[in-house]
Amino acid sequence: MIVIEQENAADAAAIESLLDIGFGAGRLSKTVYTLRQGPSVPSLSLVARTGFDAKVGASIRFWRCDVENGDEILPALVLGPLVVDPALQGKGLGRTLVARALEEADQEGWDLCLVVGEASYYSPYSFVLAEPYGFELPGPVDQPRFQVRAAPDLLQSLAEKPMLRKVLPWSGRASGVEGAWAASRAA
């Protein structure tokens, strides 16, 4: 039996343990972690519970970030980390979490999402390489793994206006997701 639901405070230790197993202790030094400041977005931070003991078998989190786009700041999400217990890998838990969380993000009004991960894994969810759109993380990143997912009209607009788009930690100054911000705070 598998149940997917929002993570809660009691899940923190189990999630951290899975992250250590999945990514190792050095994960905290990766560039993407500089964007993971403050709390994750509660409504999009999901766990897959397994068995009768409701053990956390997989987890996905999202963090708010800013994207400089000329004179404006675009609100965006950073997907990750996504982790699945090695004993449960290959059963679709990760893909289920990604699909469900992205669907919820779309409903909340998030038009822009970034991820650092395998292109073959994230391309079915409409992620494309970020570099051609000018996105730049605040540190080194393996460019073929850095991807963006955006509403079609936004992606077209970004393509039509080539420029450097720095991705920064969330400042709360971006406009356009007031509903998403309120929804994530209420959760």
Beta-bridge partners for 47: 5, 59
The residue ranking higher by pLDDT, 177 or 127, is 127
- Asked whether 179 and 108 are in contact (CB, 8 A), the reply is yes
- Asked whether 168 and 67 are in contact (CB, 8 A), the reply is yes
Predicted local confidence at residue 174, as pLDDT: 79
The answer on pLDDT for 155 being more than 90 is yes
Q: What is the pTM of this model?
A: 0.89
Predicted local confidence at residue 150, as pLDDT: 97
The answer on pLDDT for 146 being more than 60 is yes
Residues 118-139 have pLDDT tens digits of: 999 999 999 999 999 999 999 9
Q: Which residue type, as a one-letter code, is found at position 106?
A: D
Of 87, 90, 97, which is closest to residue 55 (Cα–Cα)?
Answer: 87
Predicted local confidence at residue 29, as pLDDT: 87
d(CA 98, CA 147): 14
- Asked whether 31 and 37 are in contact (CB, 8 A), the reply is no
Q: Mean pLDDT throughout 147-157?
A: 96
